[in-house]
Structure 1
């Protein structure tokens, strides 16, 4: 299992072949004034060190503040700010190594796992973005679709202690996220299919890594995560028209 430790204002995390590239990305973000991300400090052996981003992560079950509309809106705006700055990252195919394959059309460096648990909040305001291991070149809608899935949320399973909003509320939250982000019409038109594609890709990665003996993904399979995502794909497809109408209404 991954081991993440904190010592004062520093966080120590497992490093991978992609970590030096992620650190170059983080350094670029800070150079451009986006200080909501961790600041890269060091990569040594199998461990990376980054700065601690103060605040409260949006872990499950959500608090009333993190479940609020204000938290959703500020999260969407934070993602837009990140994408705009990450789009200026000077890509270099000779040195860049990402943990995920590039996705077309490349519009920015997507976060790859934009969700409440990777956002940091000060009350109802999203003030930080963490865990860039899955960052890679890709289209903005890849992150937005994943975020809508997590923030609406469009899932058939909820963590104990969580309360499921009704479908109408979920549709309203999905539409509000797209509005707050400022998602373009073309991306809104493919959001539903991108959402299901991202879940299928997640299950594929999970099963591939588990087959290779990765303990984290073995645990995920044992806890039924892949089955949940498959059920969510089916649920989203059955409500695709309603979701598409909600997010394209403007």
Structure 2
């Protein structure tokens, strides 16, 4: 079999394409992620790769989804933010109340950034890299996706444009998202969304800063952790400095 390395990953040890499949090294979250993917396929969730088993080298086998990830708004089409939010909401609705969610609201993706989303013609089609999936609160996924999709420290994106993307995302996920769980925890109000972004940014900055000095990790992983900690801290400052602009767009 011809193995074609897939670039872009910073955490998984090895990701390659073999024909119409992707082979990924298994990690601590792989067993749970595979169960989530099997469940999502069983309920017709269309925005995740299919889990096809484990190969002879002990790697997860997933179906290959053609497309590309994005790192700048210019690579995304009109409606991309709304559609991405709807994909995330569909995940939360598909896992709310399921045994996989345990005592939490639902299963969250954990890292639903645009770098973990396959786009075609500028529109998102599939969320990939499910190793961070876990039982959790939907708002934590919402805050993370809103941050990583809509905010841009680099790339010369005007803050008004970033705020408009945030509004589109918020509208796509929809106020009153708690109805999927019996109305247990209310709307995604503007202040709550801003606080969710700030909280996730702080969590990433702290956790990645710790990994940056962890000698048990590979040099590549430590370098990525250092950059990720700075990236999260920079975006937290962006939100704090432009909080009024972002809130105004959401109201």
Tell me the TM-score normalised to structure 2 length. 0.81
Matched, 1:15 2:18: no
Relative distance call for 1:92 and 1:114 in structure 2 (3 A) is closer
Give, in angstroms, the shift of residue 173 of structure 1: 1.0
The aligned residue for residue 81 of structure 1 is 90
The aligned residue for residue 175 of structure 1 is 167
Give, in angstroms, the shift of residue 33 of structure 1: 0.5
Give, in angstroms, the shift of residue 36 of structure 1: 2.2
Matched, 1:60 2:63: no
Relative distance call for 1:212 and 1:84 in structure 2 (3 A) is farther
The RMSD of aligned alpha carbons is 2.3
The aligned residue for residue 6 of structure 2 is none
Q: Which of 23, 34, 37 lines up with 2:48 in the alignment?
A: 37
The aligned residue for residue 78 of structure 2 is 69
Distance in structure 2 (CA, Å) of the matches to 1:33 and 1:88:
17
Give, in angstroms, the shift of residue 191 of structure 1: 1.3
Give, in angstroms, the shift of residue 174 of structure 1: 0.3
Distance in structure 1 (CA, Å) of the matches to 2:240 and 2:92:
27
Aligned length: 227
Q: Which of 232, 246, 249 lines up with 2:249 in the alignment?
A: 246
Contact 1:207 1:217 in 2 (8 A): no
The aligned residue for residue 218 of structure 1 is 222
The gaps in structure 2 that reach 5 residues or longer are 1-9, 177-185
Matched, 1:235 2:248: no
Give, in angstroms, the shift of residue 28 of structure 1: 0.3
Contact 1:191 1:244 in 2 (8 A): no
Give, in angstroms, the shift of residue 232 of structure 1: 1.8
The gaps in structure 1 that reach 5 residues or longer are 94-104
* Secondary structure of 1:6 counterpart: strand
Distance in structure 1 (CA, Å) of the matches to 2:99 and 2:65:
24
Deviation string for 1:198-247 (max 9, x for gaps)? 1121122223333143224312145x332232122122112223323322
